[in-house]
């Protein structure tokens, strides 16, 4: 297996400031379900910041940053036991498929005014990429 890892840490108050500046920013970064989940939870700002970190960590694990992918193509949900999971669609899912990702691990944590997330991708041994071309003989 090939392991790809991404991590992100954010100041909760900075994420809150971003979301306070523009309702559009909230719609661009979070799905309607995520907004509903965060607003229903106590301390919504911490939950928004944690989800923001999760998406940033995923994009880092993919090795691309968020360019070319939509923020709402990755959605943080909770499984039946309350653990966070990532649900992907569109270009993000296509990238995971191209890398032959077999498993996605997500951990989110908060303390004080900080939120952080770690994403681990377990990929098939070749990482879904074709082997590099053989060097040309001279």
Residue 137 CB-density burial (10 A; 0-12 exposed, 13-18 middle, 19+ buried)? exposed
Between 29 and 67, the more confident residue is 29
Number of domains the chain contains: 1
Give which of 40, 19, 20, 42 is closest to 29, Cα–Cα: 19
Residues of the chain with pLDDT > 70, as a percent, come to 91
Instruction: Name the band, by pLDDT with cuts 50, 70 and 90, for residue 137.
Output: low
Instruction: Name the band, by pLDDT with cuts 50, 70 and 90, for residue 129.
Output: low
What range defines the domain where residue 112 resides?
2-123
Looking at residue 42, its pLDDT comes to 85
**Beta carbons of 128 and 4 less than 8 angstroms apart:** no
**Residue 138 maps to a domain:** no
**Residue 131 maps to a domain:** no
Token readout for 82 is 């309350």
58-96: pLDDT as tens digits:
999 998 776 778 899 999 999 999 999 999 999 999 999
Instruction: Name the band, by pLDDT with cuts 50, 70 and 90, for residue 128.
Output: low
| pTM of the predicted protein model | 0.87
**Residue 129 maps to a domain:** no
* Angle between helical axes of 44-62 and 12-21 (0-180°, round to 10): 100
Looking up residue 97, the CATH number of its domain turns out to be 3.90.470.20
Looking at residue 134, its pLDDT comes to 47
Instruction: Name the band, by pLDDT with cuts 50, 70 and 90, for residue 126.
Output: confident
């Amino acid at each position: 297996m090939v392991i790809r890892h991404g991590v992100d840490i954010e100041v909760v108050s900075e994420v809150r400031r971003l979301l306070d500046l523009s309702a559009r920013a909230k719609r661009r970064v979070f799905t309607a379900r995520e907004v509903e989940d965060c607003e229903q939870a106590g301390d919504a700002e911490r939950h928004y910041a944690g989800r923001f970190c999760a998406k940033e960590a995923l994009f880092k694990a993919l090795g691309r940053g968020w360019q070319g992918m939509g923020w709402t193509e990755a959605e943080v949900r909770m499984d039946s036991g309350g653990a966070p999971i990532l649900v992907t669609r569109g270009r993000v899912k296509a990238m995971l498929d191209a890398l032959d990702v077999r498993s996605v691990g997500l951990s989110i944590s908060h303390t004080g005014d900080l939120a952080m997330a770690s994403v681990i991708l377990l990929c098939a041994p070749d990482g879904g990429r074709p082997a590099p071309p053989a060097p040309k003989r001279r």
